[in-house]
Amino acid sequence: MTLFDIHTHNVKPYTKGGLIDIKSILNTFPEDFNDLSKSANESTWFSCGIHPWYVDGKTERLKSLEEIIKHDRVVAVGEVGLDKLKGPDLNLQIEVFEEQISLANKYGKPLIIHCVKAWDELVALKKGVKTDIPWIIHGYRGGVEQTKQLVSLGFYLSIGEKFNLESLKHIPVNSLFCETDESSKSIEAIYKQVSMSLGFDFNQFAFRMLGNMSKFAFGLTK
Ligand SMILES: [Zn+2]
């Protein structure tokens, strides 16, 4: 059985050959991609992006980001997004996010999104871009009404260690992913927690997550 950890900051051990095979998307920044890609193993794929907290000095960084995104093993652009509580001016964050949305579209790779208290701005950006590229909000913990709105707009939501149980029930399984982010919990533990909350059998849930992954041709499901 294969489990997918779509967003993590920790290099995970190589698992192939065991009962459970774990495939992870390790988050990188343009500056640390080279080092991290060397230290990773065959169970690891990558996302790379300019995080909203660190959008200063964007011109050079966007150039190196584009080179990295072309890499086969880089399967998503992220984490990128908007944060009203931390980081530089929101207008600059939006500008750099828009540039990275264009890169995601150009190379056909999904976006992994960090969003803190900037939901209206995120929704406006999504409505303004015609694309089939998945927009995946990571570490999602929003309330029920917000969840319904985001689902209706076609967002995908990735659930980690902490989540809103009521909201989870309003996310169609087809729009769902799981992640460990910075948690010390295993992806297996997160799958267990989420599948139990949804009343799914673990294996059945894992099978549905595999279906979600293969739809995006992440290259992880082969
Ligand atoms: Zn993260």
Cα 182 to middle of ligand 1, angstroms? 6
> How much is the average pLDDT of 125-150?
95
Measured between alpha carbons, how far is 19 from 48 in angstroms, rounded to an integer?
30
Query: What would the pLDDT profile of 138-191 be if each residue is shown by its tens digit?
Result: 999 999 999 999 999 999 999 999 999 999 999 999 999 999 999 999 999 999
> How much is the average pLDDT of 19-40?
92
Cα 158 to middle of ligand 1, angstroms? 11
Cα 5 to middle of ligand 1, angstroms? 12
Cα 129 to middle of ligand 1, angstroms? 24
DSSP code at position 181: B
> How much is the average pLDDT of 2-6?
94
β-strand pairing of 111-116 with 135-137: parallel
Cα 7 to middle of ligand 1, angstroms? 6
Query: Quick one: the chain helix, strand, coil %, rounded to 5?
Result: 40, 20, 35
Which of helix, strand or coil describes residue 107?
Answer: helix
Residue 142 CB coordination number (10 Å): 18
Identify which of 35, 47, 70 has the alpha carbon closest to the alpha carbon of residue 179: 47
**Model pLDDT, residue 218:** 63
Is 217's pLDDT higher than 70? no
Cα 68 to middle of ligand 1, angstroms? 18
Query: What would the pLDDT profile of 161-172 be if each residue is shown by its tens digit?
Result: 999 999 999 999
Measured between alpha carbons, how far is 152 from 156 in angstroms, rounded to an integer?
10
Cα 113 to middle of ligand 1, angstroms? 9
Is 195's pLDDT higher than 70? yes
Query: Which residues touch 164 (CB under 8 Å, ≥6 apart)?
Result: 141, 142, 143, 144, 147
